[in-house]
Amino acid sequence: MANKISDETIEYVGILAKLELSEKEKEEAKADMEKMLDYIDVLNELDTDGIEPMSHVFPVNNVFREDVVTNGDGSGDTLANAPLMKDQSFKVPKTIG
């Protein structure tokens, strides 16, 4: 392993993350972090010349519909389905005594 993580770094990361780690957990975290840094070194060896940087794996397109103004809110059609109506509103049974 080319990358070494110090005990102080693990302690500091634990403080930042507000974690109380046992000694075993600290050793496991240290080994995991060293493996991550080693993998980053492997990725840095790849030739990426001519590769366009991207922010997302898939193309991101605007999936929202156009904001089109329409006439009316359709309340008349909605109220046509109401079993009971009063003053252009649904009329429902009283639920609070």
Q: What are the start-end ranges of the E strands in 1-97?
A: 85-86, 89-90
Radius of gyration of the chain (CA): 31
Q: Name the token pair of 72.
A: 């009316």
Domain boundaries along the sequence of the chain:
7-45
What digits encode the pLDDT tens for the residues 60-86? 787 787 888 877 777 888 888 888 888
* Length of the chain counted residue by residue: 97
**Is-above-0.85 flag for pTM?**
no
What digits encode the pLDDT tens for the residues 11-69? 999 999 999 999 999 999 999 999 999 999 999 999 989 988 888 888 878 778 788 88
CATH code assigned to 7-45: 1.10.20
